[in-house]
Amino acid sequence: MMHQALLVPEVLLEIFTYVHTRPSTTRKLPQIYAHVNRKPFIQITSTLAALARTCKIFHEPAMDLLWSEIHGLAPLLGCVTRLHPLIYCKGMTWLDELPSWVEGIEPLSAHEARQFLRHSSRIRTLNIQTTHHHFLSVIPAEPCVFPRLRSLSLTTTFLNLFLPQTLHQYHLFSVDEGLQSFVTRCIALEHLDIHTDRQGYHNSASQLSDRIRWCRRLVTLSCPMLDWEALKHLSYLPTLLKLEIFQVYDDPLLSNRDIVTLSFLNVTSLSLSFRPLDMDGVDTITVIQHSQFPSLKEFEFEADYLTFEEAERLFHALSHCQADQTLEKINIYLCDENLREPQDKESLTPIPHFLCFTQLRTLQLIFHDSHISLDNDMILQAMSSWPHIRTLEIRDSGVPSSEVSLRGLFTALGLCPQLHTLQVPINIAIIDIDPDAEPIQHTSLRSLTLQTSAEFEIADAETLALARIISAWLPCVDRVQSMYGILNEVNEHLSNL
């Protein structure tokens, strides 16, 4: 006999919601261009389907959760009697996109369209990366088709079909005249993610900037570079918290004559990137130079190409964006060899620019083909400026060799008691700490990576001394990572110790 608690709709919904979200620690639902952990997702759908078949009381809440998040058109087309065996008997799952063989299948009839939309009112998240137009030709383009839809990912094909007034989150794979629909009909839009290739964006850059200015409730925005008017509009939005801008073209969109100083008062996360190798980062860095982010907590920057001068401009601009008391995370990734400068040029100097960020928790600087200036005095000053730092990763080309010694490193560690992960270029050619000296233990550090040059060699006696020092001073580190695996002997000694 069923327990009386299961007759209470609120209790039943709470239980089913737990079943629906329970594997969240191992499941990562698909987003733009993301892969899916299929096994736990299929287990969830199987469990909910079984609950829906158990009894009438279970049916509706289980079906609502079962259909709440759909990826691809296969589940909807599987409801069509004629198409069901073609889709499921060929081994497709709810996470598959439609195969090429469906192109030869006749379009839906009016009756089959109703079967297709049988569960459309339950769907709240819909992710469609490919559509077969002829299947949907009989479906009316009305907002009531998916009345509860809140999150949408698709191209602008059949855009009007998937735009209810309730839509809050929208991922767009291409940009065309359909943009006008989403800004006029989706008045509640809060999360907008626009991804388009470089070629497809050339003819629609100004159109996108125009349409963005219609959005007045955005909380998160990810899109290609916009013009100054659109950026000015975004700076006025009190709701905007997360901004991600990437460049996919080489024609500068930001005119010098239109430059104004912008203040994004509430933005807490800023991400900027540009990837093509035949363009520079003028627009991207210009945005930082002429913007203030007094609430900024996270900053990410990624580029394939950056000149030495542009990199220094980036560091300087970030240090003057008025985030001194708020910025907690900096992640800068420069990977292309074009950043490499002649040997008579100075090394890059990001650290002095970032000393002003007193609340810094995470600093990741990954510069594959350039050298970061770092010595004992600088790392000591950095650690004294960042008392809350938990992750410090500095990875560069390793040429010239590091000027940070073991003594300098361990002296600096005493100033950051919360440090958990450390990766720095270091010179261990000379061990300047006595292995028998009384250690000052750092008990928070768990992960240690010492970057040395590929040609570096260490004598057997020195490997034991280094292992003894690490074991005594860093008791929670049981293994030292190395870029080139040259510290294997040190790890063997650590294991024995």
What is the predicted pLDDT for the residue at 30? 37
Q: How confident is the model at residue 376 (pLDDT cuts 50, 70, 90)?
A: very high
Residues 50-63 have pLDDT tens digits of 888 888 888 888 88
Residues 356-371 have pLDDT tens digits of 999 999 999 998 778 8
Mean local confidence (pLDDT), 20-36: 44
22 or 392, higher pLDDT = 392
What is the predicted pLDDT for the residue at 187? 61
pLDDT cut 70: percent of the chain above it: 70
**Cα–Cα distance measured from residue 336 to residue 306, given in angstroms and rounded to the nearest whole number:** 8
What is the predicted pLDDT for the residue at 42? 53
3-class SS string, 23-58: HHHCCCCCCCCCCCCHHHHHHHHHHHHHHHHHCHHH
Question: Residue 489 corresponds to which tokens in the numbers above?
Answer: 């002997």
**Cα–Cα distance measured from residue 302 to residue 317, given in angstroms and rounded to the nearest whole number:** 15
Question: Residue 320 corresponds to which tokens in the numbers above?
Answer: 């003057």
Mean local confidence (pLDDT), 156-161: 52
pLDDT cut 90: percent of the chain above it: 24
Task: Name the E strands within 117-268.
Answer: 125-127, 151-154, 169-172, 191-194, 220-224, 242-247, 262-263
**Cα–Cα distance measured from residue 333 to residue 366, given in angstroms and rounded to the nearest whole number:** 5
Dihedrals phi, psi of 100, to nearest 5 degrees? -70, -25
What is the predicted pLDDT for the residue at 343? 45
**Cα–Cα distance measured from residue 494 to residue 226, given in angstroms and rounded to the nearest whole number:** 53
Residues 405-439 have pLDDT tens digits of 889 999 999 999 999 999 988 887 778 888 888 88
Q: How confident is the model at residue 174 (pLDDT cuts 50, 70, 90)?
A: low
What is the predicted pLDDT for the residue at 148? 77
Residues listed for the chain: 497
Most confident of 161-170, 334-343, 391-400: 391-400
109-113, 208-212, 472-476: which has the minimum mean pLDDT?
208-212
Whether the per-residue pLDDT at 330 is higher than 80: the answer is yes
